[in-house]
Structure 1
Amino acid sequence: MTEPTPLRRPRADQARLVADVVRHQIHAGGYPDGLPTEAELAAEFLVSRNAVRQALAVLKAEGLIDREPKVGTRVAVRKYDHGLNHLVGLKETFRDYGEIRNEVRAAMTVSAPPSVAARLAVAPGEPVVFIERLRYLGDLPLSLDMTYLARDIGDAVLEHSLEHNDVFALIELVTGQRLGGADVAVEAVSADPHSAAILQVPQSASLLLLERLAHLDDGRPVDLEYIRLRGDRITLRSNLIRGE
């Protein structure tokens, strides 16, 4: 059997490869007792120790690992998986990680901006209910959610506690219908100074902006959300099937 040969690529390319694989391992729960040594990682990936050192520097700058002399390299934080296969609220998504609580920053009736009105199939300027929540997992702020609800449903939702309930669950409660599906778009955005302060991240840190329009099972659009998720603590995951 032929022995593998070292990767003959620029150091920056080698470092990126190492960083990507190690990052994935961390997110998958790997290295509970600390990362391998630089020499061991270099042998595993068939790259130079300088490339490994550069990769670890990237992961340290991301806040994923800590490196201390005579102690070694350990995982500093782990991310939480947020699945995209099912239409569930944050409390349902993270029920295995701990308690989700909501800081309600706004709950009011507003005139629907034209783009919001179009998505909710109401007339521009028609009253809709707006809710803004800062959502915590324990003491960790995870997301800043802005929600627009159709007026009749939103008014009924506001009669219930928003501090410990998902809006999805309340919609199903007040309508007596199941949510049928949602249109979802995700993009990376930089944290503006205000959002950065609220979510306790550096200014211009990467956030995941999730836009989601949820429908009742009869097809009626009822819930338009703009959710800023901390990119340093949340990984979006989905299972994909190749079509014909």
Structure 2
Amino acid sequence: MNEPVDASPGSSSGRRIPAGWVSSQPRAERARQVADVLRYQITAGKFADGALPDERSLGEQLGASRNAVREALDLLRFEGLIIRRRGVGTRVVLPKYGHGLDRLAGLAEAMTGYGEITNQVRSARRVTELPVPIAERLEVDPSAGGVYLERLRWLDGLPLSLDTTYLTADVGCGVLDGDLAGRDVFTLLEETTGHLLGSAEVTVHAVTADPDTAALLQIPDHAAVFALERLTRLSDGRPVDAESIRIRADRMALTATLHRGHVQP
């Protein structure tokens, strides 16, 4: 079956386009498909210098009309991924960094090679009473108390995430004595307990940033952020670390490699 030929104004004569991207599609749908491809390229770091090719070149690479490319770029600009300036071209606003969800790693460990991670310790204190929902997650009595940490994480001088952490009292007090400004909590936990971390249950959802969080992360009020809730256990299965992390969605992409197990017929 022959593929349709793009005969839109400004297109290269005889240039073939993917069969699904035909002119009978609604224009918004064609633009969205192009935007999806470009978004993947941006988050995967395909534009190393931050500059995107011009509209004509993108159209040739993607097999799309210039109109579709132009509208796709407008979508990505609205999402805050790119900026477009006359005489300068189209550029990625900020690089997105991949953080794998298929391996238990602290932020500094996960971002190795991307830049320098620094931590602003906003709170590090013992608490005599844990919030009941936190105590239930950590499988301790609320009156057992614990340790509360709040850190603003920076990557190469720009805020990346706001992390709040509750630790059980027996391990948290040792973590308080560690270098919270310079090291991951995961590393401090393993050194304090003498045991490796074993597993974590993670839930990720999208929320709008409250004004205080937005100010700390230097993003507009009500901008979208990743909300990551994580309960981390030692290798013996004991929960020791309950975290709530707000991550700038414009700076990080959460990734995972998934394997399909045997499916019973």
The TM-score normalised by the length of structure 2 is 0.87
Offset, 1:70: 3.5
**What pairs with 1:72-221 in structure 2 (closer than 5 Å)?**
72-110=89-127, 111-221=129-239
Aligned residue number for residue 224 of structure 1? 242
Cα distance in 1 for partners of 2:57, 2:116 equals: 39
Q: Please tell me whether the aligned partners of residues 114 and 125 of structure 1 are also in contact (alpha carbons under 8 angstroms).
A: no
1:101 partner SS: strand
Superposed CA offset, 1:104-135 (max 9, x none):
11111221111101110111343111100000
Q: CA deviation at 1:44?
A: 4.3
Give the letter for the 2:95 counterpart.
R
Shift of 1:45: 4.1
**Is the aligned partner of 1:9 residue 2:52?**
no
In structure 2, C-alpha distance between the alignment counterparts of 1:46 and 1:95, rounded to whole Å: 36
Which residue in the other structure is 2:67 paired with? 50
Distance in 2 separating the partners of 1:51 and 1:10: 11
Equivalent of 2:259 in 231, 235, 241: 241
2:149–2:164: 8 Å Cα contact kept in structure 1?
Answer: yes
Distance 1:113 1:31 in 2: 45
Task: Identify the range of structure 1 (16-25 vs 39-48) with the bigger mean alpha-carbon deviation.
Answer: 39-48
Q: Matched residue of 2:186: which SS?
A: helix
Change (3 A) 1:116 1:17: same
1:170-218 deviations in whole A, cap 9, x for unaligned?
Answer: 0100110000110111000101101000000011111001111000001
Provide the secondary structure at the position in 1 that maps to 2:56.
Answer: helix
Contact 2:45 2:96 in 1 (8 A): no
SS at match of 2:246: strand
Give the superposed CA RMSD.
Answer: 1.7
Q: In structure 2, what is the Cα distance between the partners aligned to 1:238 and 1:149?
A: 26
Gaps of 5+ in 1: none
Question: Shift of residue 152 of structure 1?
Answer: 0.9
Cα distance in 2 between the residues matched to 1:172 and 1:242? 31
- Which of 41, 44, 60 is the equivalent residue of 1:25? 41
Cα distance in structure 2, aligned partners of 1:32 and 1:127: 48
Q: Is the deviation greater in 46-55 or in 14-23?
A: 46-55
* 3-state SS of paired residue (2:72): helix
Structure having the higher Rg = 2
Identical aligned residues as a percent: 53
Distance 2:130 2:144 in 1: 5
* Shift in Å, 1:31: 3.2
Number of residue pairs matched by the alignment = 244
* Counterpart AA for 1:49: R
Aligned to 1:61: 78
Q: Structure 2: which amino acid aligns with 1:108?
A: R
Q: What is the CA–CA distance in structure 2 between the aligned matches of 1:156 and 1:24, rounded to whole Å?
A: 42
Question: Can you give the 5+ residue segments of structure 2 that lack an aligned partner in the other structure?
Answer: 6-20
**TM-score, normalisation: structure 1:** 0.94
Q: Deviations over 1:4-59 (max 9, x none)?
A: 45522111111111111101111222234632332343444454433221211121
